[in-house]
Structure 1
């Protein structure tokens, strides 16, 4: 099951406990989660090379994402924080507008940590 969107007991438990801010339990990602990341990353690279502007591509290069596995937020933050002052902050799901903008005011960007299932790659 891993950390698949809508099927992750870790997330369901956090939501049930009223926890909006959580950690990224990297060991819970399944082989399927990493495979889905790899497939999606490869598909997006084709689109990015055709449609993305150079600033986006430069930023993507700076983050040093590995195409073979889900990124660790701590690694993303090592690259992002020194350059932008922002840090990714794991959340259990929907973040109300007030909390979202409060995070941004502290230069924290709320992000979910689940990976959609491999059958939902086209979902926006």
Structure 2
């Protein structure tokens, strides 16, 4: 959402009122296309056996591959045929109200720039690799696509009610850092994990983090950290269950959580459905609060 980062290749590019820009696909350099290819090949390997089935299937359906940076218009044509979603290129993170307006109308704002070589392994601001490799495959899943639209509409209401911080936690712990229980075990669907080789392994294999069954009200009370791996991952049983949990009047949910204290990122509390209780060994004691 709305945060300032270092300038990228689109800084100063003309933009519409909704923050969208021309991707200008033909202006990517050979080095930038090669960088996409290397990021894609690496992450495709590390996500084998770790990414959720829906994401892996969609990679093929959408023809995502290490063959240069995707053209968002052509990719949108394929995606729109499946779920009605399109990608709209932006230069940077957009203002909250614009972000929600896009989602509510089945448009996903995707960063058009690709990270510099010096930040190949980690980038704080979401770039085109994070947004397309991480987010786009799940937008091809009809149920998850419906959830994202509902989230956009819910965001518009949360802003009016002054509860955006609670709703932002839902996005963080699902869309960005969510796990799902599949027949063969826990798998990843969150884009923040799927686009990170280190966190892809950490989220499933490390003994440090808690892995707790999804609970909407509990999640909305849980703070998060943005500069490290997650201390807690919330696990959904299915995309259908996630959508059902969020097809309700959040006004009542907000009223209930508003009167309860926030929880730190690594807390385990009574009533949690603990799948794995982490030892938090990765995190120094002074860094265990979110």
SS at match of 2:48: helix
Any stretches of 5+ residues in structure 2 without a counterpart?
A: 1-5, 124-290
* Alignment correspondent of 1:59: 58
* Alignment correspondent of 2:32: 33
| Higher RCO (C-alpha 8 Å, min separation 6) | 1
Query: For the aligned residues, what is the CA RMSD?
Result: 1.7
CA contact (8 A) 2:32 2:114 kept: yes
Return the alpha-carbon distance in structure 1 between the equivalents of residues 7 and 40 of structure 2: 21
* Alignment correspondent of 1:101: 100
Count of paired positions: 116
* Alignment correspondent of 2:20: 21
Return the alpha-carbon distance in structure 1 between the equivalents of residues 15 and 90 of structure 2: 11
Return the alpha-carbon distance in structure 2 between the equivalents of residues 59 and 26 of structure 1: 23
With normalisation by structure 1, the TM-score equals 0.85
- Give the structure with the higher percent helix: 1
Bigger Rg, which one: 2
Task: Give the 4+ runs in structure 1 shifted more than 2 A.
Answer: none
Any stretches of 5+ residues in structure 1 without a counterpart?
A: none
Return the alpha-carbon distance in structure 1 between the equivalents of residues 54 and 93 of structure 2: 28
* 1:120 shift after superposition: 1.7
Return the alpha-carbon distance in structure 2 between the equivalents of residues 44 and 38 of structure 1: 10
* 1:23 shift after superposition: 1.2
